[in-house]
Structure formats: C-alpha cells, structure tokens
Amino acid sequence: MKTNTIKPLPLQGYTIFEIGQNVAAPFAAQILADLGATVIKIEKPAGDDARHWGPPDWEGASAMFQTLNRNKQSQVCNFRDPQQVEQLRKQFIAQADVIIQNFRPGVLEGLGLDEKTLRATKPELIYCDMGAFGSGGPLSDLPGYDPLMQAYGGLMSVTGEPGQPPVRTGYSVIDCGTGMWAAIGILSALLQREKMQDGAHVEVSLFETSLSWMQVASAQHMSSGQVPGRHGSGAATIVPYRAYQTADGHLVVAAGNNGLFARLCKVLAHSEWAEDERFANNPQRVIHRNILDELIQNELRQQTREYWTAKLREANVPCTPVQDTAEAFGCEQAQALGVMQEVPDSAMKFMGLPIRLDGQRPAIRLAPPALQPLTEESLS
C-alpha cells in the first residue's frame, strides 16, 4: 500500500544570512527561505529602508517590506560598532552556508565581512554579491536602483507607446529578476559544493539583469543594425499581438501564426483579411501593422471584452482581458491555484512561491520579522 509521506523542504538544514535591504537581496533570500532554508536577516539599527517605504503599511511595516521578508528571522547589527561586527563575523564562520549581500561596493570589505576575507577562513562558504553595475568597469562603484537600470540597460527604450516619454514597468522587475538570478546561482553553487566540497563566489548585478531582459532586442539589433523602439502593448516582430480596446475594457489578442490569424479573421466576420496579400504572413502583417491594427480595433470596440473573450476562446484564439490587481488575484484561475497564502499569527496574506513540489506549494512558515533590538544575549 502506498503511503503519503511529507517530504522536508529541499533547503531544510541550510543557514543563509542576508545582509541586504530594499528589494533584490530580500527577494533572493525569501525564495530560498520559502524552499526551507533558515534565513537570518541582518539589519542596521534603523532597519531595512524598505520597512518605511509606505504607505500603505501593514502590521507594523510597509506592505512592500512585509511581502519580501516572510520566513525570516531578524538580527540587528550596528556596523559602526567593532564588537558587534566581530561577533557577526564569528557567527558567519560558525553558522553560514550562504551569505547574500547588496551593500554598496567597499562597505563590507572595510568591515572584513567580504567574500575574500570570510572564505579565507571558511572556503566552503557560498557568498553572493548583488551589485548595481557589476564588478569591473568604470561604473562598478556606483549605487543603483531599479529605475536607473531599466533606463541604462535599455528596457525603458522599448517600454511604452511610440513617440511618448520613457516608461518604467509598473513594479521592480530588475530587482526581482536579479533576486531570481541570485537564487539560481546559489542553488547551483550548493549543488556544486556537494560534488566538489568547496564553496563559490556568486556574482549578479542589476545592470546585467536589465541587459538579459533585452536579449531579444539585442539580437534584433545585431542582426538588422536597427534599434528597436516602443510598441505599446504589442511586439516588434509579431502582429497581431497586442491589447485592443473593446466596448468596456482592453483585450490582448495573440494570433502569432497564420492559422491563428485566420481563426481571428473568421471570428471577426472578415475571413477575407487572411487572403489579403498585405496580411498573408507574419512579415507582411508586421509591415502593415498600422492598417491591420486599425481594422481589428474597429471590430473589437463593438462588443464587450467578455463577449470577445468567449468568442475567441471558443475558436481557440489566444486572448485575455487586461485585469487590474483585484481582478487578477480574485479571478477563478488564481483562486483554483491557491496562490494566496495565509501568514501564521497574522491577518496578512501573501502571494506564495510560484513553484509547486509534488503538487504542493511551500507554505509560509513565519511572519515577516519585527526589527529585533540588540541585546547582551545576541552578542554572547
């Protein structure tokens, strides 16, 4: 008889220290915490800056901080106090499997908490540096934030409507993307350590993440010599592939090949469009995108997005309404997936880890930590 057994989370037994603040490092550490690691968040006496990035606040800190710091413990360190720094160094050597840090370059080197210093004593340590512009190069010592990297890495140049000012994506995709790369690098280093019995120096940066999100744009530029521009909700190389206005909201239609385009034309009662030489294949549709988009738009605005969603899905044409936050998290699909998770000993609910292991999403085990004042016991 087959019995159900509860498996331990994959990172159970590993101890990770996060010397980080704002978004990127906390997000990286939270991914690993959700996967079972013990994560100790080292904070300055005033706490992570993101604790105060509100309103809205939620149970003692900004909602932004709370959603990035579950499943962690908090420990204060006054980095200007040599005794506390030395105690922290000893704690790292004794307990740490992984250290994640996103302080400004040079700060931790001056305190003896950098990768070279710590791994000289503990070579099996995995140390992850999360920088702004990356190590090496004339900008390596500069600080960086998500909007700066969306600008400098080119993402703003392809985001927004043609002819309009640069637009930042709604939330911190560069910070979160860098956190994901850090988590991937750390997991890879942990696997390597099992084989080689040695640690690693993992390096990621906001700028490199921004460039990585531009890999399609860079390939298009390298191959054509042309600089990609903005296409609003659409795509540079696929038509129709954008949001259109309906009678009561926007609907994204993604008819990315000739068969899907023909089905779209049939639903819109214009099968002749699929035979028009201007729209006969995707390259021609890209060339004549303005004409085709206007034709499609004129039809879709005649009915509601619910009407067109039903019609297009019945015809197996990929489409979806543009939902706001309440709609997205309240929709039937999100509810069925159980993405929102309750927080123990709290009224808060957060989006859970978007991973399921053997059908189970790792549960939130700990509420985001309150800032823990330093005590004599902490230093002993």
Catalytic residues: 175
Q: Which two tokens stand for residue 18?
A: 């996060």
Sheet with 319-321, edge to edge strand ranges: 241-245, 250-254, 319-321
Q: Which residues have CB under 8 Å from 185's CB, separation 6+?
A: 128, 202, 203, 204
Phi, psi of 74 (to 5 degrees): -115, 140
Instruction: Give the ranges where the chain is alpha helix by DSSP (H).
Output: 24-34, 63-67, 82-95, 107-111, 115-121, 146-152, 173-196, 206-213, 215-224, 258-267, 282-287, 289-300, 305-314, 325-330, 332-337, 376-379
Residues 6+ apart with CB under 8 A from 139: 132, 133, 207
Please tell me the distance from the alpha carbon of residue 75 to that of residue 17, in angstroms, as a whole number.
10
Residues counted in the chain: 380
Beta pairing partners, 341: 350
Task: Give the relative orientation of helices 206-213 and 215-224 as an angle to the nearest 10 degrees.
Answer: 60
CA 26 – CA 18 distance, rounded (Å): 7
Give the distance between the most distant pair of CA atoms in the chain: 80
Burial 366-375 (b: 16+ CB within 10 A, else e): bbbbebeeee
* Other CB atoms within 10 A of residue 163 CB: 7
Phi, psi of 171 (to 5 degrees): -130, 180
Distance CA 41, CA 44 (A): 10
Alpha carbons 153 and 167: distance in angstroms, whole number? 13
Which DSSP category does 268 fall into?
A: T
